[in-house]
Structure 1
Amino acid sequence: TLKIKFNEDDDAEFLYAYHQARFFKNDMQGACDSLVYAMSDSTIKMMEDPIVWSDENQLTSDSMLIFISNNQPDSLNLSGGAFIVSEDTLQCFNQISGREVMGYFIKKELRKINVNGNSETIYFVRDDETTDLLGINKAVASNMIIRLDEKKLKSITYIGDPEATLFPEKEVSRSERELKGFSWRIDERPKSKDDIYPIEKVRRPQQQSQEEESTEERSEEENN
């Protein structure tokens, strides 16, 4: 369901998308239950099980804000249970989790990630030339700053009581290679514009109206 709200000057102010909302761009795809696009500042607010894919990265959290500039992603905020997963070339999953994450894009690529609160990472460290696995790096810290270059890890800066250890592969069991909350949901990723129109369950008009009003009220309260 799509709905546009106009202001007193009859200018479009908000676009609401309810129930299995999805979007597709060549450089970014996303899905959630409810989505609000604010025309005034070009922000996308995703609520109820939001998930975004950008290049090899899968991003999830309790709620999500995407900031758009010049029709391109500029930055995003993952709030509550933030989790980022990326699959490497040999089907191992690099993972980042924390209470809140801010991600920054340069030329459509995710280049910097600030993780704030309860930060954890698991990274599979490989030889640049042979791609042989050198070890599995597991780290925890209060906060982290992660920099990427050409879609690969460039550096991690740990802030506040860091603990980081590079383990040999044989010392890390399969269950220990996943952070709490890990879920790889690649099958849900829209592959084209045709994939953003899922079949929805039929709702009673009264139920649908109540759900839409609830989403609008929650969004407007957060914007005020």
Structure 2
Amino acid sequence: MRHILIVLLTLLSVFCVQAQNMIHIEHANTLEFDEAVNAEFQMLIGDVQFRHDSVWMFCDTAHFFKASNTLYAYGHVHIKQGDTLTLDGKTLYYDGNRKIAQIRTNVVMTNKDVQLFTDHLDYDRVANIGYFFFGGKIVDPTNVLESSYGRYSPDTKMAFFKDEVVLTHPDFVMNTDTLNYNTDSREASIVSPTQIVGDSATIFAFRGWYNTLSGESELYDRSYVLSSPYYMIGDTVSYDQSRGFGHARSNVQLVDSSKAMILSSNYAYYHEEKEMAFLTNKALLREYSQKDDTLYLHADTLMTRKDSIYDTFQAYHHVRVYRSNLQAVCDSLYYSNRDSILDINGQPIIWSDNQQVRGNHMKMFMKDNTADYLHVERNASVISQETADTSYYNQSSGDDLKAYFLNNKVHRVTIEGNARSIYIPHNEDDEMIGMVSLEQGDIEMFMDSAGQMERIKVAPQPKGKFFPLSLVKDSDKRIPLFSWPIELRPTGPEDVFRRNEIKDNRFAEETRKKGQSAKRSTRNNRRTIK
């Protein structure tokens, strides 16, 4: 008896499942069935309604194949599943066993505030996914997305688009080949080369994501942002298009072709409205306005910004500069095209050919993007090494120095105030004939094309000595401010990344002594006044 009951219950459950899987006719104005004409289907006409478990289907006319549990529906097709999903179209083929609906012509799939439009849609009720092909688009309150092929899942809110994908937003248009999109978060997942064109910027992305609600994005694989005047590229680029700023990490470049300038680093930040860029971690400026002679500048931090209508540039800490005919080191520099003056601070040294210029503070006056003249304030010195005997140097120092450039080479130097000079005169055969040591008020020196001193003018009448080379002592060969830290001089583009480490610190020691002497003099004067 127990076995019979189990068999009956099993048969009953199978019958119930089969009943649930069957399509039911709920209503039709007319039902026609002519076994002689076609014994396979019933024809339903007028206000036709079907039910298959929880799904209702409506149409004008239908052919119902009860044996195969399928139907064809025509005219004003409408499918309703639950409270949130509907499908509309002109024709329908529905397979009740596989739970597949194939809807054609003017198809609309609606899931709350998301609609899918196409002429060809296959809807899988088991997976709850709609597949469209031969063109389709999805519309939500923010975006319109179109492509040749795609799918949409109401459960996960995920949509997939393939071939000629276009996402249209009120502020930008996105074009790509393949795209994943979440209709809930409105976030697009970029998986193929993508172009995003907005009012103020254009993005070229290869992989990453873009949130169309916030305008925020994170892009990988050397994606880049073009925002006048720069384009920014990096291994990872984070960009907020709605607020107009972004930052990039690892192998970053900011390129401004209008200024012939490339900024690079491992971290960069850029703000569109302020036209401000900040770079650090192996920061480098390359300026290529002069053909075949690029300038390389490295510092711990580089910053550019537009101040009103003027451009400014700032580099600070461990600054090193290399150009084929000009090199420099300092701790910070600042430039504005308001006055075309480059302000150089922090133990600055500049080299041109075999000339070294040094002082506490420098100002480089530019003209047409090239050096016009250099003004060195306080403890100024200019030194060049003799080529015939490198133990001798031509040296001059004073309170105030100006070096004038011609074709990026120093061709004239003036020194005013407490001027001192040591130089090596040559005979007609360019042989060293002795050493001259001078103390005078002012000096004017003229250089040849090789950077060697050609002639010198002094005023007023100088105090000086001439030493034959045989009588020159080592203690006589140097002015008090002499310092020749040649090891600091950048030797090439890669050498700008080397740290500034001064081994010979006599210049700093001498300027410190002069500063202490000046302070003592000031204190003595105050005591005298009292």
Name the TM-score, length of structure 2 as normaliser.
0.36
Q: Distance in 2 between matches of 1:190 and 1:141?
A: 33
Which residue number in structure 2 is paired with residue 17 of structure 1?
A: 315
Identity of aligned residues (%): 27
Distance 1:62 1:8, change over 3 A: same
- Residue of structure 1 equivalent to 2:265: none
Which residue of 432, 439, 447 corresponds with 1:148? 447
Q: How many angstroms does 1:62 deviate by?
A: 0.3
Query: 1:47 & 1:25 partners in 2: Cα distance?
Result: 19
Query: Match for 1:157: what amino acid?
Result: K
Match of 1:180 in 2: 480
Separation (CA, whole Å) in 2 of partners of 1:29 and 1:43 = 17
TM superposition shift of 1:64: 0.5
Q: Which residue of 2 aligns with 1:4?
A: 304
In 1, the alpha carbon distance for the partners of 2:336 and 2:474 equals 43
Residue number among 310, 322, 339 corresponding to 1:41 in the alignment: 339
Partner of 2:357: 59
Query: Partners of 1:199 and 1:136 in 2: how far apart?
Result: 36
Give the partner amino acid of 1:69. K
The residue number in structure 2 matching 1:76 is 374
Amino acid at match of 1:29: Q
Structure 2 SS opposite 1:99: strand
Give ranges in structure 2 of 5+ residues lacking alignment. Answer: 1-300, 501-530
The C-alpha deviation readout for 1:100-158, integer Å capped at 9, x for no partner, is 101111222211111100111111222342x4321101111111111122223222111
Quick one: structure 1 residues 179 and 37, their matched pair in 2 at CA, closer, same or farther if it must change by over 3 Å?
A: same
CA distance in 1: counterparts of 2:409 and 2:317, whole angstroms? 29
Q: Deviations over 1:54-98 (max 9, x none)?
A: 010011000011112222211000110001110111212111111
Where in structure 1 do 4 or more consecutive aligned residues deviate above 4 Å?
none
Secondary structure of 1:41's aligned partner? coil
> 1:160: Cα distance to partner?
2.0
Aligned amino acid, residue 74 of structure 1: D
- Distance, in Å, in 1 between the alignment partners of 2:428 and 2:492 is 33
Amino acid corresponding to residue 480 of structure 2 in structure 1:
K
Post-superposition Cα deviations, 1:22-49, rounded to whole Å, max 9, x if no partner, equal: 2111111111011111222322111010
Greater CA drift, 152-161 or 24-33: 152-161
**Which amino acid in 1 is paired with 2:358?**
T
Are 2:27 and 1:27 equivalent residues in the alignment?
Answer: no
RMSD after superposition = 1.7
Unaligned runs of 5+ in 1: 201-224
Mapped partners of 2:431, 2:458: distance in 1? 25
Q: Which has the larger radius of gyration?
A: 2
Distance 1:138 1:38 in 2: 40
Supply the distance in 2 between the matched residues of 1:57 and 1:72 (Cα, whole angstroms).
18
Aligned partner of residue 194 in structure 1, secondary structure: helix
User: For the Cα contact (< 8 Å) 2:384–2:452, is it kept in 1?
Assistant: no
1:156-195 maps to which residues of 2 (within 5 A)?
A: 156-195=456-495
Question: What SS does the aligned partner of 2:434 have?
Answer: strand
TM-fit CA distance, 1:192: 1.2
* Amino acid paired to 1:179: I
Q: What is the distance in 1 between the residues matched to 2:308 and 2:412?
A: 39
- The secondary structure found in structure 2 opposite 1:35 is strand
Higher relative contact order (CA closer than 8 Å, sequence separation 6+): 1
Residue 198 of structure 1 corresponds to: 498
**Structure 2 CA distance for aligned equivalents of residues 164 and 100 of structure 1:** 21
1:194 Cα deviation after fit: 1.3
CA distance in 1, matches of 2:437, 2:499: 41
> 1-side partners of 2:317 and 2:387: how far apart?
34
Q: For 1:94, which of 394, 398, 416 is the aligned residue?
A: 394
CA shift in 2, pair 1:154/1:199, >3 Å: closer
Matched, 1:125 2:425: yes
Aligned length: 197
Structure 1 window deviating more from structure 2 (177-186 vs 144-153): it is 144-153
Q: Secondary structure at the match of 2:476?
A: helix
d(CA) in 2 for partners of 1:95 and 1:199? 27
SS at match of 2:330: strand
Does 172-181 or 144-153 show the bigger shift? 144-153
1:199 CA drift (Å): 5.2
Structure 1 pair 135/36, CA: closer, same or farther in 2 (3 Å)?
same
One-letter code aligned to 1:73: A
